Amino acid sequence: MKKLVIATRRSRLALWQAEHIGNRLKGLHAGLHVELLPLTTRGDELVDRRLDEAGGKGLFVKELETAMADARADLAVHSMKDVPADLPPGFAMAAITAREDPRDVLVSKNFNSLGEMPKGATVGTSSLRRAAQVSERHPSLEVRLLRGNVDTRIAKLDRGEYDAIVLAAAGLIRLGFQQRVTAFLAAEEMLPAPGQGALGIECLAARAEVAALLAPLADAGTTACVRAERAVSRALGGSCSLPLAAYAEIANNQLRLRALVASADGRRVLRCELGGAAGDPQGLGERAAAELRRQGADEILGL
């Protein structure tokens, strides 16, 4: 192949991610020409509602998949935390790249931590997962909806609409906003979303020639971790309507997986931690989901 077209969302972060993958591909394959196909997704348009109320994670990927199905694009680059647990028939996640910092961060102009914020102070997030974990530990804070891309969210903070916001570290790092980070939130305080910090490259399952070009970008350790995390989500329903977190780490070919399910108000939080072989991330994720179910996850999630 001499040319690849990458479907991408139009946000600055999405364009950065697509350009990053394009540059890596050109570095790997001499003479390869890469073009971007920027698209507006339904998720980008619906900025006044939580994603779980608007239709879920698929709102960020459907238009990109349609472009691939229509042969307007050869592949799409996604933040893995935005990808539904199950891909549509005919599509494959050809590569998951090495993970950026998976943690969440606090961004605030006036406070150095969630713990020092006074009663009634506002924290902005669009994530049920983040909202539940903030509310569990800091019930006196007011968690308010915050949608939009990274630039929009920071601008709303700077205008004084929120006292603090919680964002993914990876997005800020990729956009060069490290100086805006007030505090990195350890996994013990804010367990990340499945796939957070990792990029996934999707193509049609039948496009073996595209998958072959993408294969060198795959990172085995990150792939195993993300598969374990996504297996938890898939086993529990796979929707962003779930206040669910899952984070895996790998060492010595062993996975350590932590997972969490919470009520939206943070009043009930279930946690588990399991270990297993890196060669069976799916099985480890399913065991974690089973343990959360044993503790009562179905009741919390309304399953």
Instruction: Give the chain's length.
Output: 303
81: its two tokens: 């935390």
Q: Which of 44, 48, 52, 82 is catalytic?
A: 82
Q: What count of other Cβ atoms lies within 10 Å of the Cβ of residue 219? A: 16
Query: Sign of torsion, CA 9 10 11 17?
Result: positive
| 254-262 and 269-277 strand pairing | antiparallel
Q: What are phi and psi of 165, to 5 degrees?
A: -135, 155
Give the DSSP H or E segment for 168.
strand 164-168
Q: Is residue 219 annotated as part of the catalytic site, yes or no? A: no
122: its two tokens: 């506002």
Query: Sign of torsion, CA 86 279 253 76?
Result: negative
Q: CA dist 176 to 79, 82, 151, 167, 197, Å?
A: 17, 21, 11, 14, 15
Q: What residues are labeled active site? A: 82
